[in-house]
Structure 1
């Protein structure tokens, strides 16, 4: 993580550095004279909360702080090192005042609020001699599909169960027969958990944790709240929700917080005003790191969101409500100095009805679908001074207006999916109507009014494009006639015809300029400074690997279908691929089935005896006792 290199003493003052692009933000005056102490090991909730008589739970301290609040006395809660297995609720109270409340780790990162409980009473599994079983409760089932979401993907994405053995996560499987080392299975009918740990694990001494609580922290309807230095982890958050949330809050500061390893979302800001999130990380979450909607005057500064969407990736689901950070219907928001690496989705995404958005100095690299996606926004949206690299696309621009992209570096994006380029132009044919959530005004949006100036676009591999689009007809002409482009540097070291314009036509810089009637002050040349160093991925902290499919549904033609699986290693060894779930009469052949990083092609073939049907098929990526899966639909059409 790049943030790990930032000195804590420096990070605590970032909020107060003058930033021209930063709009309104939290400004909590922390002048509390009343301090409560919490200690998970030494405390008791019957204590007074002093240094010598600390409380045991954070919620007990919040309850005392609420009484102080009613008496117009602000409170600071100091949380000593330890694991706090509770949900902390900071909720509306009667006779509520606006005095500040701070919850702060005594030492940053050592106060852990966990959504998991410890499991014990292990017995050897009756079928698998290296596996173990214990009772499981409560029966959590699957989460409901969020309104408006697509259907047809594997139900694994809607599960919430997570198991950690000595802090290492296991991969969930949906049938007992699929178990192998590194996996777990829950039999809700019998109320039992079956897990198969890594070889050599002593289950009598191992720490086994199971996510059971959907929330770590919930702030609702409160003002002048500070969370600082806390670790928020292992929540059983449902699809499209976060383990830690701020809802209907105002003047809230989230500082140096880690929201890692939650089932779906790490940290979410909803229907709130004047919120600052700074120096914080949201990594290894099952769906999304940071999320937010219908909030105003928001500042995200020096945050990081990496390696998110492992849960979505289990259902080959990369492009809906997941990624490093995604925001919806935001107003007057600044994202500055944001880092987002190796998410199995977008790195940063502003989706639908966002207005007055500034993205300054982002570093977004190694993300599966796109470094940045700007979709269905009336704007204005400004992206400036960033590095967008080594992702499916540099920026996906879809049906958005009043977008300004200036002084950024786009490098080595593309050649990993169908719609790819350093900048890719997409959107709804004929425009799309959205409604402003504040004013109820309707906007018929098209991709037009783009300002593109001072950027560097460089392809880093064969098959990449500096520009791409599938727009045509009036959608293309609206874009081209309203584009204002100037002083950009474009370059592909392999081929000059790297602009894919209307109807898939590949042209050079001159052809691009003629197609759009602008950008005449731009050049075709290698940049004076190589972008490679600025786009380099940080050192791996947790050795792992990922597997990504190029689609979540495949349909056979003449008894055959091709799928592509991309394996990316993050400091791990050789990964072996296999396929399960094939019906009678269907086979799969994998080329390059053992690899560290790279691409494998899977050929599915159906004989004349196969049935015409759609079945879930799973690709297994296995290295020792580390397992990752991707389940997708295969429509079998026999010869």
Structure 2
């Protein structure tokens, strides 16, 4: 069980500081303030230290927070701890100090060697592991892909750093308001990322311009009293070698290019990433390959997406994946929490995926045998779980809340199955924002590479419990014309809704249940053979 302390409007958990507005979940659990300290909800042990909060103030905050907790109807269980933990490296590990280069030690060592990256900042390191090598941190070990800038000169109203020759590939699609999202170079001032712009005239206090032809970075404000960093390394770990273990490391500020990770395992087999924190990287935190295991990690504030990749036999479990796509890549291209493609035998289990710009958990393009189980997805701008142009999947026992806020109509939903078949959806609990939808199937008449049509068929939606804060919105919609070969696949393709519970407040507007190209109310959907054992509960 982890502990946190409350000081001066911030929650402190181990070596991390979180604004109070974000401390609803600390180390993945709800937290409760108790006289002068903050403890995990299920913890019974006393606080490790006392804060400077006056007892009366602490009690008032305790009462206020307790009342807030009591008002919640949705109390998810999560892992006790994710991210790095302080523990010693294995006894046989080769020690590497923060100021020592890692790659020469890797090259000298045998396959299967273990390395202990000592506490501190290992700056601008890019490692290509050999077969079965293992990399351990001590809990406060940071791999940082940037270097510090100290030499600035004045050019007119700008502060300029010269001699900057790094330039990564530009990959990916951006939203209109962030046209430079896919330029991988990044600048941080006191650990806060600046937004890159395309012209010098657009530079402001929170924006920078990189003139690659001149090798110059332009800032608006005097940097002399601040820590300024610029990314120089594209990855922390990348290799085709199998069997790599990465554990207890913080990996930050790498200039990963679109669809690539600071940990780039996509071209290898059997990599394991455990108890790591991946943050502030330009594109993805981690790119998975076949046999990848990602467990107990915090993956957040990455520029494009938390986890991406392609592979067979992939397990992603007990992670927190949150507030990714900070650079505003276009989610219709690829952005958000987790997206795998052309993957099979995938397990996404017991993750908490929240506040990402894009879908929460997403498998796209010929995915097969995917299990989404026991996850919590909330506040993602698109679907909490999204299974797209793919095949067999089980989506069970997940908690989905207030997703789809960035989309309208039937696309603004919590659970979306698009142009896919043989999906079993059950045991899920949903809280749906007003104007948004619960479970939605959609057929788009999309074609495979061979020209065949993907068909939305043989999907079974049953035994789910949905709370709607507005009108009921769910069902299966056709997005093709009447002359399309898929025109009636929703109605004739053995898509079934039954034994689901739909909960609404008295006075809500009528039920909107999509069925093909029509929208049905409750009586008409039952008359169509749907929800014969389902329930519409008004309270």
TM-score bracket for the superposition, by shorter chain length: 0.7 to 0.9
**Counterparts in 2 of 1:328 and 1:413: CA distance versus 1, 3 Å:** farther
Deviations 1:226-252 (A, max 9, x none): 110111111111122222111443333
User: Greater RCO between the two (CA within 8 Å, min separation 6)?
Assistant: 1
**Counterparts in 2 of 1:114 and 1:456: CA distance versus 1, 3 Å:** same
RMSD of aligned C-alpha atoms?
A: 2.8
Alpha-carbon distance between aligned partners in 2 of 1:139 and 1:339, rounded to the nearest angstrom: 35
2:514 is aligned, of 479, 494, 500, to: 500
Alpha-carbon distance between aligned partners in 1 of 2:323 and 2:373, rounded to the nearest angstrom: 22
Contact between 1:170 and 1:184, CA under 8 Å: does it hold in 2? yes
**Counterparts in 2 of 1:141 and 1:269: CA distance versus 1, 3 Å:** closer
Alpha-carbon distance between aligned partners in 1 of 2:353 and 2:296, rounded to the nearest angstrom: 13
**Counterparts in 2 of 1:57 and 1:142: CA distance versus 1, 3 Å:** closer
**Counterparts in 2 of 1:290 and 1:141: CA distance versus 1, 3 Å:** closer
2:500 is aligned with 1:488 = yes
1:345 maps to which residue? Answer: 358
Deviation at 1:310? Answer: 2.0
Alpha-carbon distance between aligned partners in 1 of 2:305 and 2:314, rounded to the nearest angstrom: 18
2:334 maps to which residue? Answer: 321
2:357 is aligned with 1:334 = no
1:237 is aligned, of 256, 260, 263, to: 256
Matched ranges for 1:388-407 at <5 A: 388-392=400-404, 393-407=413-427
2:224 is aligned with 1:192 = no
2:536 is aligned with 1:521 = no
Q: Structure 2: which 5+ residue stretches go unaligned?
A: 1-22, 30-38, 40-88, 405-412
1:116 is aligned, of 146, 157, 166, to: 146
Contact between 2:123 and 2:145, CA under 8 Å: does it hold in 1? yes
Alpha-carbon distance between aligned partners in 1 of 2:166 and 2:230, rounded to the nearest angstrom: 12
Contact between 1:364 and 1:388, CA under 8 Å: does it hold in 2? yes
Contact between 1:391 and 1:414, CA under 8 Å: does it hold in 2? no
1:552 maps to which residue? Answer: none
2:448 maps to which residue? Answer: 433
Deviation at 1:461? Answer: 3.5
2:107 is aligned with 1:63 = yes
Alpha-carbon distance between aligned partners in 1 of 2:174 and 2:27, rounded to the nearest angstrom: 37
Deviation at 1:3? Answer: 6.8
2:118 maps to which residue? Answer: 80
2:314 is aligned with 1:298 = yes
2:45 maps to which residue? Answer: none
1:206 maps to which residue? Answer: 226
**Counterparts in 2 of 1:362 and 1:61: CA distance versus 1, 3 Å:** same
1:40 maps to which residue? Answer: 98
2:67 maps to which residue? Answer: none
2:367 is aligned with 1:354 = yes
Alpha-carbon distance between aligned partners in 2 of 1:151 and 1:165, rounded to the nearest angstrom: 24
2:242 maps to which residue? Answer: 222
> What is the TM-score normalised by the length of structure 1?
0.65
Alpha-carbon distance between aligned partners in 2 of 1:150 and 1:165, rounded to the nearest angstrom: 23
Matched ranges for 1:96-495 at <5 A: 100-106=132-138, 108=139, 110-127=140-157, 131-138=158-165, 140=167, 143-144=170-171, 155-197=179-221, 203-223=223-243, 225-270=244-289, 272-273=290-291, 275-293=292-310, 295-313=311-329, 317-378=330-391, 380-392=392-404, 393-413=413-433, 415=435, 421-429=437-445, 431-434=446-449, 444-461=453-470, 465-467=473-475, 469-471=477-479, 473=482, 475=486, 477-481=488-492, 482-493=494-505, 494-495=508-509
**Counterparts in 2 of 1:184 and 1:79: CA distance versus 1, 3 Å:** same
Alpha-carbon distance between aligned partners in 2 of 1:113 and 1:4, rounded to the nearest angstrom: 21
Contact between 2:259 and 2:287, CA under 8 Å: does it hold in 1? no
Deviation at 1:327? Answer: 0.5
Contact between 2:117 and 2:136, CA under 8 Å: does it hold in 1? yes
Contact between 2:307 and 2:338, CA under 8 Å: does it hold in 1? yes
Alpha-carbon distance between aligned partners in 1 of 2:174 and 2:301, rounded to the nearest angstrom: 24
Is the partner of 1:89 in helix, strand or coil?
A: coil
Contact between 2:337 and 2:359, CA under 8 Å: does it hold in 1? yes
Q: How many residues align?
A: 445
> What is the TM-score normalised by the length of structure 2?
0.76
**Counterparts in 2 of 1:161 and 1:196: CA distance versus 1, 3 Å:** same
Deviation at 1:488? Answer: 0.5
**Counterparts in 2 of 1:4 and 1:151: CA distance versus 1, 3 Å:** closer
Alpha-carbon distance between aligned partners in 1 of 2:532 and 2:442, rounded to the nearest angstrom: 23
Deviations 1:497-536 (A, max 9, x none): 222334353x322222333x23200000159xxxxxxxxx
Deviations 1:599-621 (A, max 9, x none): xxxxxxxxxxxxxxxxxxxxxxx
**Counterparts in 2 of 1:291 and 1:413: CA distance versus 1, 3 Å:** farther
